[in-house]
Amino acid sequence: MILAVWVLLGLAGSPAGASSVLSDEQRDEDVDANVMSGGPLKPVGAVDPGPLPPRPGNEQAAAMLRIPVDLLVRTQQACQLVFARRYRDAKVVFDAISVGYPTTGVGPLGTAIMYQALMFENFDWKYDAQFRAASAATRAQLERGLDEAGAEPLEHFVLAGVGGLDAVHSLRKGDYLTALGNALVAMRALTQTEEEAPDFPDLRIGDGMYEYWRTVVTASSDILPNFPDRRVEGIRHLMQAESGGVLLGPGASLVLAYAYIEEHDLPRALQEVDVNVTRYPDCVVNNLTRGRILTSMRRYDDALAVYDRVIAQNVQNERVYYFRGIVLSRLGRLPEAMAAWTAYLAYPSPPAEYKGQTWYRLGIARERSGDLEGARTAFASGAGLGNQAAANALESLK
């Protein structure tokens, strides 16, 4: 479940490096052009969610997980603080959970999610050590908890979460074997949770992500076998998780947004992220996604307003300057776009692939401004970081 969420966010944040020199319109590709399926699948259109389940009360949900209501309430509070980007406050609650419930893994898993969220805000590795320590602490707590009777559904749910987070962390670093091993652990734990607590509504996120993205990924691959198209069922499950989710309802909204982006249904995608904007206006990941959707809809002034809000919310955010540069370039405000990309490149933390894509965009802007020598320098820098589009563009200027 959590594996699917973070994989999706990782895909959403990855640079779209072109394989050849592109036209001006193609050079500033949008979110709706960065879908995975690339055309084999026709959009599913409107999906009837069916009867949406009501969100269970805390006592009912706690009974499903076989845990005290107090633990569920504290976990809810901490999750809401993470969505609200009140990380310090969330850490206090997670630490208190570790003291009060030291064999559930909830406290350190929440801390691991928090550090992973911080890294996804910038698509970097700033908190790698902290994340790994929290992940190890989660597993250490679960080793004790799973040896004792009680709370098994929650403990397997937490095991699925930490396995998923570890898998995506390894995947982003290119360690595919480790990622696969952790993913298998997560899948087994999630299956176990569904056997123990089949009515726990947050599990529908995992079902929905699996059904939807398995269809998309296999249809996009010449190697993987195709499966029946279950995108409608996947979206329906995500709607159910959004409606009834006890802990991860806002996460389901964000996941639905990316499904609708894949479907080229940008109005619905915007509607989903706007749900979270209303409840959690300071959630940087949600706001960056909203800005990219608005860019795809050619609502450039609205996108700039979103990015300006991100900067005001978090002066340490770096990735926003990359996205802001795209909007400014589309508006023809090339000096400002180049300044935004230059600011992003000045940070030491962005990974090489993101810097390579930024050098490519900066080179295009310099070329359009008539600065061919500056364009060559930018393309050469991007090519040196492995960006193929920059290498092709550099070759075209020779």
Question: pLDDT by residue (tens digit) across 111-150?
Answer: 999 999 999 899 899 999 999 999 999 999 999 999 888 8
pLDDT at 322: 97
pLDDT at 12: 39
Predicted confidence band of residue 13 (pLDDT cuts 50, 70, 90): very low
Residue 378 and residue 361: Cα distance in Å, rounded? 8
Q: What angle do CA 71, 73, 75 make, to 5 degrees?
A: 70
Closest CA to 52 of 333, 222, 275, 240: 240
Closest CA to 238 of 196, 214, 210: 210
Span 303-331, average pLDDT = 94
Q: Does the pLDDT at position 3 exceed 70? A: no
Residue 262 and residue 43: Cα distance in Å, rounded? 8
End-to-end CA distance of the chain: 49
Query: What's the maximum distance between 2 C-alpha atoms anywhere in the chain?
Result: 71
Q: Does the pLDDT at position 29 exceed 90? A: no
pLDDT at 22: 35
Span 343-348, average pLDDT = 96
Predicted confidence band of residue 180 (pLDDT cuts 50, 70, 90): confident
Q: Does the pLDDT at position 378 exceed 50? A: yes
Q: Does the pLDDT at position 344 exceed 90? A: yes
The percent of residues in the chain predicted with pLDDT above 90, rounded, is: 71
Predicted confidence band of residue 35 (pLDDT cuts 50, 70, 90): low
Span 321-331, average pLDDT = 96
Q: Does the pLDDT at position 30 exceed 70? A: no
**Tokens encoding 25:** 């319109």
Q: Does the pLDDT at position 101 exceed 50? A: yes
Instruction: Give the torsion through C-alpha atoms of 80, 86, 91, 94, to 10 deg.
Output: -10
* Full-model pTM: 0.87
Calculate the alpha carbon distances from 173 to 16, 128, 170, 178 in Å: 17, 11, 5, 10
Predicted confidence band of residue 288 (pLDDT cuts 50, 70, 90): very high
Average model confidence (pLDDT) across the chain: 88
Residue 269 and residue 253: Cα distance in Å, rounded? 9
